[in-house]
Amino acid sequence: MRPRPVSDHTRVRGAGRDCTLRYISCMDRLNITLDEKQAEKLSRLAERMHVQPGTLARSLLSSAIDDADPDARNVVELLDGIPGAYERAQLGLEQASLRHTVPLDQL
């Protein structure tokens, strides 16, 4: 099996829109959608650091993962600390049950 190529794709759009980061490596693919405020902050930080937003996002996420405690007792606390996570999960379940989804081959 041939490994997939490494790529870095970042799209930061204007007011009222989301930021999409896509990172592909030989092993993993991760898509992250940021709200407008976070996308703008990431863009400003990356500009000040003279790096691409995707590069900075990857670094920030790696640091957060390194600092996260994988102990199962702390996972609920970690998830509870994500603003709106429960509501977004419920919305995702509702959308899936209504078949408001995108086929994987269209991603």
Spatial neighbors of 30 by CB under 8 A, at least 6 apart, are: 21, 22, 23, 61
* pLDDT tens across the length of the chain (107 residues): 444 444 444 444 444 455 555 545 455 667 788 889 999 999 999 999 999 998 999 899 888 888 877 787 788 888 888 888 889 889 999 998 998 888 778 77
**Phi and psi angles of residue 86, each rounded to the nearest 5 degrees, phi first:** -65, -45
- 32 and 18 in a common domain: yes
pTM for this entry:
0.49
**What range does the domain containing 10 cover?**
1-67
- 39 and 29 in a common domain: yes
- 52 and 28 in a common domain: yes
- 43 and 72 in a common domain: no
